[in-house]
Chains A and B, each alone.
Chain A
């Protein structure tokens, strides 16, 4: 009776899970979940290097997870066999610590053993992967804290004389600075935490290792009664999970989140639509933008100057550097063109040339 009920329950659970998976697939939830797990790093500005790094990391994580799943499956079956070898009392003990949950007749039944074995495998798989995931989350938290970018404060920015952006002559410093800045609370906390963690880890290194062994032993005992290699494999799963979690979060924060934060920060200093429109409207042949190519090597007479509106529009781009601009994930050709025109209007032709090199796709040649 117990066996029949067990199989019926299992069938119902499997049917419900199957139906949920089917519905999720039909609604596109599964593909979105997969997309979230495996983001498209080939998108604009992510770069080939970033894509390859993450793909390599994903493959390594997949191999680690698969090996761990194989061991957990084997360990689950081994545990069933061990409990069976102890006798019906062993299985009863596994079902109920008091050992009075099943009658010997039921516990020796083949169907019951199959069901019991299946549940043991699920228990082992779920337990090991959950431990690995928990360790991975701790690693990811550390990776995020360590990888969070720190904004450069004004005194740290290299001066113009040292090749830094500086403030061009004739430009008011107040114009060059921004009225709003992105909150740096999280980055400051990250800075403090990083220092605290490194400091505490150095002082408490021996104690941390002792505590880790205690936790690993407790997990191995709870899941596998310290058998089937669990005293070695559970710490390995925890360390592996933590390392992969740290690597993934650190790289993701450094390579992706940092760009988004920098983009959001620049977004606060985004030129106004009016400035963009003014720059867009300048005619290509207008010499206030850039002088014509002359037959003469001499400077015969200065070209016409841009008007006040054009200069004001160009100044709105003054704080944006080429690298900052092109590292934005959402940068468009029009953004680069406006930036290049702004530099040309301010007579910074070498900077403008970088923009046109980008627009013409000359970097790849």
Chain B
């Protein structure tokens, strides 16, 4: 793969996505080419850069490229809360997922939910998700598998996409944010 001659970020973005969609044989190529796109020094328009960073973050969060949530948070550190910086809300959603993985790891290590550091992470997650939903309301339903409890069969098989499940359990505000209607209904139900 070191023989890849192009440094055109647009071509590398397209190629990485096509390789990713082309199936198992091309998965490794997708990861390498996506990384080349990320590190390309050629100037490129903001939407293309956002797409490249988003793809690279998704690969790290899903564990296909090493680095996990730490590398993802490094990548998305400077993303501003403006429409120009994240037109589709995708980068904010990915940052929320990375923080969700960080939160999950801290909780599994025994930290209480009221730990100031975890409260701060939850605040950041809500803030990012709110921005993402404002940009694209369909994300609320399209990505709910990240915070909804996994089905028993999937859980038994080692379901690993429940990045925000711990936050969903610990944070009422978060539940309101991701499912405002259900949370309102729950609050109006008479006790007992």
Interface assignment of B55: CB less than 8 Å from any CB of chain A: yes
Chain B residues numbered 22-75 whose CB sits less than 8 Å from any CB in chain A: 22-23, 25-26, 29-30, 33-34, 47-48, 50-51, 54-55, 57-59, 61-62
Interface assignment of B1: CB less than 8 Å from any CB of chain A: yes
Please give the distance in Å from B167's CB to the nearest CB on chain A: 16
Binds B, one of A56-64, A126-134, A350-358: A350-358
Chain B residues whose C-beta falls within 8 Å of the C-beta of A365 in the assembled complex: 1-4
**How far is it, in angstroms, between the C-alpha of A353 and the C-alpha of B11 when the chains are bound?**
12
Chain B residues whose C-beta falls within 8 Å of the C-beta of A362 in the assembled complex: 1, 3-4, 29
Chain B, interface size category, equals 35 or more
A344 and chain B: residue at smallest CB distance = B18
Interface of B is mostly: helix
Check B48 against A340 for contact (C-beta < 8 Å): no
Chain A residues whose C-beta falls within 8 Å of the C-beta of B13 in the assembled complex: 284-285
Partner of A297, one of B4, B50, B161: B161
**How far is it, in angstroms, between the C-alpha of A361 and the C-alpha of B4 when the chains are bound?**
6
Chain A residues whose C-beta falls within 8 Å of the C-beta of B47 in the assembled complex: 283, 285
1/0 per position for A277-316, CB-CB distance to B under 8 A?
0000001110001111111111011000000000000000
B139 and chain A: residue at smallest CB distance = A300
Interface assignment of A252: CB less than 8 Å from any CB of chain B: no
A337 and chain B: residue at smallest CB distance = B11
**How far is it, in angstroms, between the C-alpha of A284 and the C-alpha of B13 when the chains are bound?**
7
Interface assignment of A71: CB less than 8 Å from any CB of chain B: no
Interface of A is mostly: loop
Partner of A360, one of B6, B10, B50, B62: B6
Chain A residues whose C-beta falls within 8 Å of the C-beta of B90 in the assembled complex: 292
Please give the distance in Å from A203's CB to the nearest CB on chain B: 54
**How far is it, in angstroms, between the C-alpha of A353 and the C-alpha of B27 when the chains are bound?**
11
Interface assignment of B142: CB less than 8 Å from any CB of chain A: yes
Check A291 against B17 for contact (C-beta < 8 Å): yes
- Given A298-B145, A349-B21, residue A284 in contact with residue B16 (CB < 8 A): no
Check B6 against A359 for contact (C-beta < 8 Å): yes
- Given A301-B142, A340-B18, A350-B23, residue A296 in contact with residue B1 (CB < 8 A): no
Interface assignment of A204: CB less than 8 Å from any CB of chain B: no
Please give the distance in Å from A42's CB to the nearest CB on chain B: 19
Please give the distance in Å from A273's CB to the nearest CB on chain B: 22
Please give the distance in Å from A141's CB to the nearest CB on chain B: 44
Interface assignment of B148: CB less than 8 Å from any CB of chain A: no
Check B58 against A361 for contact (C-beta < 8 Å): no
Chain A residues whose C-beta falls within 8 Å of the C-beta of B11 in the assembled complex: 284, 337, 356, 359-360
Chain B residues numbered 117-139 whose CB sits less than 8 Å from any CB in chain A: 138
**How far is it, in angstroms, between the C-alpha of A209 and the C-alpha of B18 when the chains are bound?**
62
- Given A293-B17, A352-B22, A360-B11, residue A300 in contact with residue B142 (CB < 8 A): yes
Interface assignment of A364: CB less than 8 Å from any CB of chain B: yes
- Given A293-B20, A353-B26, residue A300 in contact with residue B1 (CB < 8 A): no
Please give the distance in Å from B175's CB to the nearest CB on chain A: 20
1/0 per position for A319-348, CB-CB distance to B under 8 A?
000000000000000000100110010000
Partner of B61, one of A295, A300, A349: A295
Interface assignment of B94: CB less than 8 Å from any CB of chain A: yes
Interface assignment of B85: CB less than 8 Å from any CB of chain A: no
Please give the distance in Å from A306's CB to the nearest CB on chain B: 14
Check B62 against A295 for contact (C-beta < 8 Å): yes
Partner of A285, one of B1, B33, B51, B142: B51
Chain A residues whose C-beta falls within 8 Å of the C-beta of B62 in the assembled complex: 294-297
**How far is it, in angstroms, between the C-alpha of A291 and the C-alpha of B142 when the chains are bound?**
15
Chain A residues whose C-beta falls within 8 Å of the C-beta of B161 in the assembled complex: 295-298
Chain A residues whose C-beta falls within 8 Å of the C-beta of B177 in the assembled complex: none
Chain A residues whose C-beta falls within 8 Å of the C-beta of B16 in the assembled complex: 293
- Given A285-B48, A293-B34, residue A353 in contact with residue B6 (CB < 8 A): no
**How far is it, in angstroms, between the C-alpha of A365 and the C-alpha of B17 when the chains are bound?**
20
Chain B residues numbered 133-167 whose CB sits less than 8 Å from any CB in chain A: 138, 142-143, 145-146, 161, 163
Chain B residues whose C-beta falls within 8 Å of the C-beta of A357 in the assembled complex: 29
- Given A295-B61, A295-B62, residue A300 in contact with residue B14 (CB < 8 A): no
Check A295 against B23 for contact (C-beta < 8 Å): no
**How far is it, in angstroms, between the C-alpha of A352 and the C-alpha of B23 when the chains are bound?**
12
Chain A residues whose C-beta falls within 8 Å of the C-beta of B17 in the assembled complex: 289-293
B98 and chain A: residue at smallest CB distance = A295
1/0 per position for A190-215, CB-CB distance to B under 8 A?
00000000000000000000000000
Subset of 8 A-B contacts with CB under 8 Å: A293-B54, A295-B58, A297-B62, A298-B161, A349-B23, A350-B25, A360-B15, A362-B3
Residue numbers of B with Cβ under 8 A of A are 1-6, 10-23, 25-26, 29-30, 33-34, 47-48, 50-51, 54-55, 57-59, 61-62, 90, 94, 97, 138, 142-143, 145-146, 161, 163
Starting from the known contacts A290-B21, A293-B20, A364-B3, 19 additional A-B residue pairs (CB-CB under 8 Å) come to A285-B13, A289-B14, A289-B17, A290-B14, A290-B18, A295-B57, A296-B143, A298-B145, A301-B138, A301-B142, A341-B14, A344-B14, A353-B19, A353-B22, A356-B11, A359-B15, A360-B11, A360-B15, A362-B4
